Chains A and B, each alone.
Chain A
């Protein structure tokens, strides 16, 4: 082994002797030095920003209305203290029909104006907050002399007062905020995140940075630099000398190949260790996964280098090796992008994501938000979403909240989120509510009253009354109550017509609880099918809302799961609450006191998609975004993993489980035995046939080095799926696609082995 070890060690000597290595390391050092001054400063949250208020227009309207009321109120106090610019911004924001761009400018002015107010020691006036219920900590603070507080403490107290005064309009503000700084200079405004909450966002950003710096740039440079290594050994006078020694030709080639990897090992290792240290020292995030990415990037380079090696053995020319390797990269990129494009544009939009078993028919919602019905052996679209944002149109995904099937009216009720609604949670419009009914065999949807901003869940209570769960409480919709008057209804203030705030005078009835919920979007909710009780999970806190005889909800139990965060899914039936966390942990909780009964980890760290239950609470079905369907009977403790490619699941109330897999196939299982009893398989259309029998086999055979980036993402973020619509899919119900972590690794490994085998045979047969 000594001769081979000698060659391998010499590769490092050669790399260190290379000027290019030192140039690349110098560039890496510059990049790291440029990143070094970046830091995250965590401080007590004192400032308002665009995302601090859910409905700026509503807030502006409410403050203006309060200003003309005779009674003192927080709104009136703010109006009194407001400078002309803030007043002007509030008046402007309250006018309906503003474009998003106009509103955004006004919001920035309002936030700045309010921040000026919040710095004032005289912001609090006892009579203004007389009718506002303050929590104990705040009340105790106010009883003390505010003059002894620092400016930041005053701002914090004022912000709490502001938040308490407008609980429905102001988002639940975090205690701390993060400020990104560069050499002490503030970059942008503070982020409403704790360090813990910022971790996933930083991890995602880091994935992108690594993908570009190491996965693309460093690998490209390494391809250029290492291309001459193999041709050099075939140079006359060099190969003779090497092969006169007692070494095998294949051994020489393979050790030289491994030695060529020394370059990327040194550069990528240097960069990754540097980034890891910066993350740890400057951001306080010691993420060992960054270092674990080194083998992945090394493997990525190995894939390209195997091509370069074979070409070098055949043609013994470094330029040809580089050109062919770059062509190979382009082909890989094209194949990967083509497959992804076909998936995103044609296949994923048609994937069934929600199954709605009706009285006699089977309805489903596909990924593009269309309602489809099983008719004559195929899925026929019966309703299309009314609108969708640009991103949804491109990605082919549209999230539909619901639908729920109203048996008595034989209608479907659903919510459509407004397109382009979110910018750091800055909401400009609420979801739209629709009722779909069947007339003469065709479905038609009717737009209903607009639910308030912050509405995220729609249920039917045991009396089949639509119940909406919003960020601050529960609302009931009386279906037969007339719609509100025209939108221009409002009041005159200072000669201007101020519209009524969103959500007022709508046919929605607030069902509590008191005090308001103050959930942070996105949150999970589930309704008990028999009692109508609700559970919500937000910011790591699980709340049990018990339904009173009056139909109102009251907090019955809460449990804090902090620091557990991220999108979660809830199920509630029988005497069990099932919480599926974003890290894939399934917790079975006793409903009465929310104590944990059992914990499972059925599918690794898969993100949950939804939980379905039978009405009697016998079965819980947990569907993960990875496609795994996990069934559990809490009473008997039975556990069953049904499939690994499921996209939708439902119980039909007749002891059957329906599961959609392979995109559009639905299988009906007998619950008692979990055996399939029926299957609805749509015929393959032309495109699907081409995809299944031509594109997919090619794609399977072809190496997928570009997709190794997903492995990096998985290592750093721990996620096994990628968001399809919004880049940060915060809601468990938002579309995600399973990432095939090992497929690209195995196919690339097979490719490397084939390339090297051919190269070895070539070298073995070669006359030097």
Chain B
């Protein structure tokens, strides 16, 4: 199956200034692919080029180098855009529209007949929790309600690909949870979802794969589990046995933490260069008849992984 989004050596340099033209690089040599039917997260600090990348995908900005495709159509092409539902960050809908008429308007822009919009509207509004607010003018909507309506208009024409820029921005925790469940159900329906978000916990909870952009370059791309694992394996053992025997059994590894808990329970953490050493440590412990109450491999949270990647980057473009 061909990827839903394919980005190949994409680069963008803005030119600013009227008299003294100045080049501002925003993206450089970015390549990745988003599998169809997955939820993909794009992460990066402010100014990393995330919005530029999305705008290139939608044809709002022309790339300086490279190319990208959406559902096998060149990025920005009308056919490609017809199959995308987009929720921009800080989107603004005309104030004269109500929830219902906004969906009619944006549905019409996506090529839906008014009758078809009217047919789909109740279910969509229910899905985003706005079923009672369809007649209210958009200008009276709260930030969270506007985000929900934005998501509704992106889903209205049933696109196979959704690009969501900060979808939970301004949404309360309950709303976030609802939105996560919406995204999950969309994924279950086979849709591809491309999410750009600052909220790493949200991304961690819903995304299958993520890409991390820093200063316009792609630092990491892959499944979240890959990103959150360290290069050296850390394992935490909870053991019951003699301290001297335990230390002897773990002599092949480096003990980084040692804690005696409530009498004879010992919690210790080891660092090993590969899994074979961990296996050997386990064999030695069992040979000395030491009880293994728990063996827990230690993993970073996405936030820690993200911060590590960002902090490791000191080479701005």
At the interface, yes or no: B21 with Cβ under 8 Å from chain A? no
Q: Which residues does chain A contribute within 8 Å of B59, judged by CB atoms?
A: 243
- Provide the residues of chain B in CB contact with A237, threshold 8 Å: 88-92
What B residues does A248 contact at CB under 8 A? 78
| B110 A241 Cβ-Cβ under 8 A | no
Q: Does B310 belong to the interface (CB within 8 Å)? A: no
Do residues B92 and A238 form an inter-chain contact, with CB atoms below 8 A? yes
Chain A, range 228-286, C-beta contacts under 8 Å to B: 232, 235-248
Q: With A10-B94, A243-B58 given, name 8 new contacts (CB 8 A).
A: A2-B112, A3-B110, A10-B105, A240-B86, A241-B88, A246-B81, A246-B110, A767-B61
Q: Which residues of A contact B92 (CB under 8 A)?
A: 235-238, 241
Name which residue of chain B comes closest to A7, CB basis.
B109
In the complex, the answer to whether A241 meets B106 with C-beta atoms within 8 Å is: yes
Does residue A194 face the partner (Cβ distance < 8 Å to B)? no
Determine if B206 is an interface residue (Cβ-Cβ < 8 Å): no
Neighbour of B61 across the interface among A6, A238, A768, CB < 8 A: A768
Sample (23) of A-B pairs whose CB atoms are under 8 Å apart: A10-B105, A13-B97, A235-B92, A237-B90, A238-B93, A239-B60, A240-B55, A240-B86, A240-B91, A241-B91, A241-B92, A243-B59, A244-B81, A244-B88, A245-B106, A246-B78, A246-B81, A246-B110, A248-B78, A767-B55, A767-B60, A767-B61, A767-B62
Give the shortest distance, in Å, between A3 (CB) and chain B (any CB): 5
B79 / chain A contacts, CB cutoff of 8 Å? 246
- The tally of residues in A whose CB lies under 8 Å from a CB in B reads 28
**Interface presence of B14 (CB below 8 A):** yes
A1-34 CB mask vs B (1 if < 8 Å, else 0) is 0110111011001100110000000000000000
CA–CA, A236 and B51, complex, Å: 12
Docked-complex contact A246 and B108, CB < 8 angstroms: no
- Residues of chain B in range 16-71 having any CB-CB distance to chain A below 8 Å: 55, 58-62
Give CA–CA (A205, B163) in the complex, Å: 61
Question: Are B109 and A3 touching (Cβ within 8 A)?
Answer: yes
A348 CB to closest chain B CB (Å) equals 47
Residues of A within 8 A of B62 (CB): 767
Pair B111/A2 contact, Cβ less than 8 Å: yes
**B residues in contact with A17, CB < 8 Å:** 95-96
Q: Cα distance A238–B89 when bound, in Å? A: 10
Count A/B pairs, Cβ under 8 Å: 86
Chain B interfacial residues counted at CB < 8 A: 35
**By the criterion CB–CB under 8 Å, are A13 and B55 in contact?**
no
- Is chain A's interface secondary structure helix, strand, loop, or mixed overall? helix
Q: Is B242 among interface residues, defined by CB-CB distance under 8 A?
A: no
Residues on B with beta carbons closer than 8 Å to the beta carbon of A14: 94, 96
Docked pose: A3 CA to B114 CA in angstroms: 11
- Chain B interface (Cβ within 8 Å of chain A)? 14, 55, 58-62, 78-79, 81-82, 84, 86, 88-97, 101, 105-106, 108-113, 150, 153, 163
Q: Which residues of B contact A2 (CB under 8 A)?
A: 108, 111-113
| Whole-angstrom CA separation of A235 from B89 in the bound complex | 13
CB nearest neighbor in A for B62: A767
Chain B residues, CB < 8 A from A244: 58, 60, 81, 84, 86, 88, 163
Inter-subunit contact B108/A6 (CB<8 Å): yes
A interface residues with partner B (beta carbon < 8 Å): 2-3, 5-7, 9-10, 13-14, 17-18, 232, 235-248, 767-768
Given contacts A13-B101, A14-B96, A768-B60, contact A242 B109 (CB under 8 A): yes
Contact in complex: A236, B90 (CB < 8 Å):
yes
Contacting pair A767 B88 (CB below 8 A): no
Given that A767-B14, A767-B61 are contacting pairs, would A3 and B91 also be in contact in the complex, using a CB cutoff of 8 Å? no
Which single residue of chain B is at the shortest CB-CB distance from A232? B94
Picked from A7, A245, A768, the residue with its CB within 8 Å of the CB of B81 is A245
Please measure, in the bound complex, the distance between the C-alpha atom of A634 and the C-alpha atom of B154, giving whole angstroms. Answer: 78
Whole-angstrom CA separation of A238 from B84 in the bound complex: 17
> Of all chain A residues, which has the CB nearest B61?
A767
List of A residues within 8 angstroms of B113 by Cβ: 2
Residues of A within 8 A of B106 (CB): 241, 245
B238: shortest Cβ distance to chain A, in Å?
Answer: 52
**Nearest chain B residue, comparing its CB with the CB of A18:** B96
User: With A and B bound together, what is the CA distance between A10 and B106 in angstroms?
Assistant: 11
Contacting pair B109 A13 (CB below 8 A)? no
Which residues does chain A contribute within 8 Å of B81, judged by CB atoms? 243-246
CB distance from B192 to the nearest CB of A (A): 16
Question: Which chain B residues lie closer than 8 Å to A767 at the CB level?
Answer: 14, 55, 60-62
**Residues on A with beta carbons closer than 8 Å to the beta carbon of B84:** 244
A3 and B108 contact, CB distance less than 8 A: yes
- Across the two chains, which residue of chain A brings its CB closest to B81? A246
Contacts of B153 in A (CB 8 A): 241
The reply to whether B58 and A6 contact each other, CB–CB distance below 8 Å, is no
Least CB separation from B92: chain A residue: A237
* Contact A240-B78, Cβ < 8 Å, known A2-B113, A5-B108, A13-B96: no
A199 to chain B, nearest CB (A): 44
Q: Provide the bound-state CA to CA distance between A246 and B110, in Å.
A: 6
State A34–B106 Cα separation when bound (angstroms): 43
Are B111 and A246 in contact, with the CB atoms below 8 A?
yes
Return A43 CB to nearest CB of chain B, in Å.
53
Determine if B60 and A245 form an interchain contact, defined as CB atoms under 8 angstroms apart: no
Chain A residues with CB under 8 A of B55: 240, 767-768
Chain B residues, Cβ within 8 Å of A235: 92
Which of A17, A239, A244, A247 neighbours the largest number of chain B CB atoms within 10 Å of its CB? Answer: A244
Q: A232, A241, A246, A768: which contacts B82 (Cβ < 8 A)?
A: A246
**Smallest CB-CB A-B distances: 7 pairs:** A6-B108, A17-B96, A244-B86, A237-B92, A245-B109, A246-B82, A768-B60
